[in-house]
Amino acid sequence: MSDVIQVSTTCADREEAEKIARHLVAAQLAACVQVEGPIHSVYRWKGAIEQASEWRAVAKTLRSKFVEVEAAIRHLHSYEQPEIIAVAVVAGSDGYLQWVWNETADAP
């Protein structure tokens, strides 16, 4: 298993998702962030079933960066309770995983 994870969040619009993506990459908290959408979400919020058009941002980073990534997303996000979830990358091409490591690991 690698130390690489994917952290995803959904945003109200493309601009917000891209702002988060640019910040994470510029701060070397993520090697890459893919922004996709719009997607359609159906969810329960404060007792009511809601639906919305959203944009998803998926960051490739290291498990050791999760706390910093989560804090950055919370700081930049407009939602009261944004989705911030991490999924382990159990396998991947050696070159790609090394690239993620190189772009996000702290300098020695």
Please compute Rg for the chain using Cα positions.
14
Calpha distance 99→107 (Å, rounded)? 14
Give the CATH number of domain 4-104; options: 3.30.70.120, 3.40.50.720, 3.40.50.150, 1.10.472.10: 3.30.70.120
Of all helices (H) and strands (E), which one includes residue 5? strand 4-11
pLDDT at position 107, please? 54
Segment among 1-5, 26-30, 31-35 with least mean pLDDT? 1-5
Which tens digit of pLDDT belongs to each residue from 12-24? 999 999 999 999 9
Mean pLDDT over all residues of the chain? Answer: 96
Is residue 2 over pLDDT 80? no
The b/e string for 82-102 (b: 16+ C-beta within 10 A; e otherwise) is bebebeebeeeeeeebebbee
Q: Is the pTM of this model over 0.75?
A: yes
Give the pLDDT confidence score for residue 73 in this predicted structure. Answer: 99
- The answer to whether residue 108 scores a pLDDT higher than 70 is no
The single-letter DSSP state of residue 87 is E
Task: Please check the confidence at residue 88 and state whether its pLDDT lies above 60.
Answer: yes
Strand, coil or helix: 72: helix
